[in-house]
């Protein structure tokens, strides 16, 4: 990328083979869910140690279906983090349940597992951790807590395809795991998602929830015994995903290399909090710094934009949105999430970025923050 061009904080890498493949799907006469979705599901399942995977049209749908398969419904509580994309907790609300927020660990920026047990009540049905920026929580500890209290787990791994925990890929173990393939994710289908299931027994319900509760039998039989959504992925999208999947390892390696470069080049005297330097588990979906309190994030973003660099915001604390305030949450309840939600800034990081782009970002940050 030329040094003087505007640098987005992310950009998908779609290759010519994928574009050709999408054109073939469009010409094939079968453009919605069909053979390409099945092929994509089989490839994703291979990536997840052979566990059943069903594709959906968003990560949000994966969360909704995951929570429903886990049996979450009206009156239940689901333990989750206030520092995420709002879909995480809003899907809990959508099902008539209530999110039970637990503050984050300010180092990892993920839910603080040390505080989870204190949040468990008789109404708790599930734990819904989020792997912010692709950094997972300690899965051994998470599942030990869930096992001890007989809770289901829905992993919001929307950002964590290609991440792992102790050498095991996210999705290859555990309970229900939700991925997103939104345009900004490490693997995209433009919009899309997938749910990894703990066993074959959950497939039928998942497929019904994905498409209007419908079960088909024989040549002309159809029944509906549950209210489902319209959550199926198209073959057009699945073909993009297949092209992306071939390059997932390459994309992850490139992101890791760029993240390493940020650690080498980012000025430690600017007062920013850097992410944990994790090169084992994280897929480096994002490189996020926490700005010092003396600088307003809006000013930082505007000044970086003047220097040709886009900065993302992922995310403000969910419980301070007006919807959540109207449901009883208030300032001061989750101080780490509130502080980091006010000051977190996503620096550019995507596979097609040049090494020199990292230097450009670090130099611009130095100029703006000094």
Ligand X SMILES: Cc1ncc(COP(=O)(O)O)c(C=O)c1O
Residue 91 to residues 3, 78, 161, 226, 354: CA-CA distances in angstroms?
42, 10, 20, 18, 37
Q: Does 228 bind ligand X (CB under 6 A)?
A: no
Of 185, 208, 296, 303, the active-site residue reads: 185
Q: Which stretch binds ligand X (CB under 6 A): 39-47, 53-61, 67-75, 114-122?
A: 53-61
Q: Does 210 bind ligand X (CB under 6 A)?
A: no
- Rounded least distance, CB 111 to ligand X, Å: 12
Residue 308 to residues 75, 228, 357, 361, 365: CA-CA distances in angstroms?
49, 45, 11, 9, 11
Q: Which stretch binds ligand X (CB under 6 A): 15-23, 85-93, 139-147, 210-218?
A: 85-93
Cβ proximity to ligand X: between 87 and 317 the closer is: 87
Q: Which of 52, 193, 241, 275 binds ligand X (CB under 6 A)?
A: 193
Q: Which of 100, 102, 158, 237 binds ligand X (CB under 6 A)?
A: 158
- Which residues have C-beta within 8 Å of that of residue 337, sequence separation ≥ 6? 81, 82, 83, 101, 103, 104, 317, 319
Q: Which of 25, 79, 87, 104 binds ligand X (CB under 6 A)?
A: 87
Q: Does 337 bind ligand X (CB under 6 A)?
A: no
Q: Does 56 bind ligand X (CB under 6 A)?
A: no
Q: Which of 9, 40, 85, 101 binds ligand X (CB under 6 A)?
A: 85
Q: Does 60 bind ligand X (CB under 6 A)?
A: yes
Cβ proximity to ligand X: between 45 and 58 the closer is: 58
Q: Does 182 bind ligand X (CB under 6 A)?
A: yes
Q: Give yes or no for a contact between 130 and 88, defined as CB atoms under 8 angstroms apart.
A: yes
Q: How far apart are CA 152 and CA 32, in angstroms?
A: 32
Say if residue 265 is preceded by a cis peptide, omega within 30 of 0: no
User: In the sheet where 53-56 sits, what is the strand order?
Assistant: 53-56, 193-196, 176-180, 152-156, 124-128, 77-80, 98-101
185 is catalytic: yes
Q: If residue 216 lies in a helix (H) or strand (E), which one and from where to where?
A: strand 214-217
Pairing state of beta strands 124-128 and 152-156? parallel
Q: If residue 226 lies in a helix (H) or strand (E), which one and from where to where?
A: none
- Three state DSSP letters for 281-297: CCCCCCEEEECCCCCCH
Residue nearest to ligand X (CB): 59
Cβ proximity to ligand X: between 161 and 272 the closer is: 161
DSSP state of 251: H
Cβ proximity to ligand X: between 161 and 358 the closer is: 161
- Rounded least distance, CB 87 to ligand X, Å: 4
Q: Give yes or no for a contact between 132 and 84, defined as CB atoms under 8 angstroms apart.
A: yes
Contacts of ligand X in 98-157 (CB under 6 A): 130, 156
Q: Does 312 bind ligand X (CB under 6 A)?
A: no
Cβ proximity to ligand X: between 159 and 266 the closer is: 159
> Cα 212 from chain centroid?
25
Contact residues toward ligand X (CB under 6 A) are: 58-60, 84-85, 87-88, 130, 156, 158-159, 180, 182, 193
Catalytic (active-site) positions:
185
């Amino acid at each position: 990328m030329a040094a003087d061009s505007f640098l987005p904080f992310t950009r998908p890498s779609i290759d010519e083979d994928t574009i050709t493949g999408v054109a073939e799907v469009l010409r094939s006469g079968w453009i919605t869910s069909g053979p390409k979705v099945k092929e994509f599901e089989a490839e994703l399942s291979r990536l997840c140690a052979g566990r059943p995977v069903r594709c959906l049209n968003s990560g949000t749908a994966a969360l909704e279906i995951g929570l429903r398969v886990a049996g979450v419904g009206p009156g239940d509580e689901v333990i989750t983090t206030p520092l995420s994309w709002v879909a995480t907790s809003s899907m809990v609300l959508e099902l008539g349940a209530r999110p039970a927020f637990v503050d984050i660990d300010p180092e990892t920026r993920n839910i603080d597992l040390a505080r989870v047990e204190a949040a468990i009540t008789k109404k708790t049905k599930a734990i819904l951790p989020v792997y912010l920026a692709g950094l997972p929580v300690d899965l051994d500890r998470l599942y030990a807590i869930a096992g001890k209290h007989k809770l289901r787990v829905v992993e919001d791994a929307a950002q964590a395809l290609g991440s792992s925990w102790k050498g095991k890929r996210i999705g290859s173990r555990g309970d229900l795991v939700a991925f997103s393939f939104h345009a900004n994710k490490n693997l995209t289908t433009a919009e899309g998602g997938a749910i990894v299931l703990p066993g074959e027994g959950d497939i039928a319900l998942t497929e019904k929830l994905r498409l209007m509760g419908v079960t088909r039998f024989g040549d002309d039989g159809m029944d509906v015994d549950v209210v489902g959504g319209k959550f199926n992925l198209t073959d057009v999208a699945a073909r993009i995903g297949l092209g992306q999947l071939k390059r997932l390892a390459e994309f992850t390696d490139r992101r890791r290399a760029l993240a390493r470069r940020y650690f080498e080049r980012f000025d430690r005297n600017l007062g920013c909090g850097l992410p944990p330097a994790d090169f084992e588990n994280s897929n480096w979906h994002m490189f996020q710094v926490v700005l010092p309190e003396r600088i307003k994030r809006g000013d930082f973003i505007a000044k970086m934009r003047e220097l040709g660099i886009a900065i993302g915001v992922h995310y403000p604390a969910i419980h301070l949105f007006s919807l959540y305030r109207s449901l009883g949450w208030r300032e001061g309840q989750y101080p780490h999430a509130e502080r980091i939600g006010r000051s977190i800034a996503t620096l550019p990081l995507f596979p097609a970025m040049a090494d020199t782009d990292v230097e450009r970002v670090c130099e611009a940050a130095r100029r703006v923050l000094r």
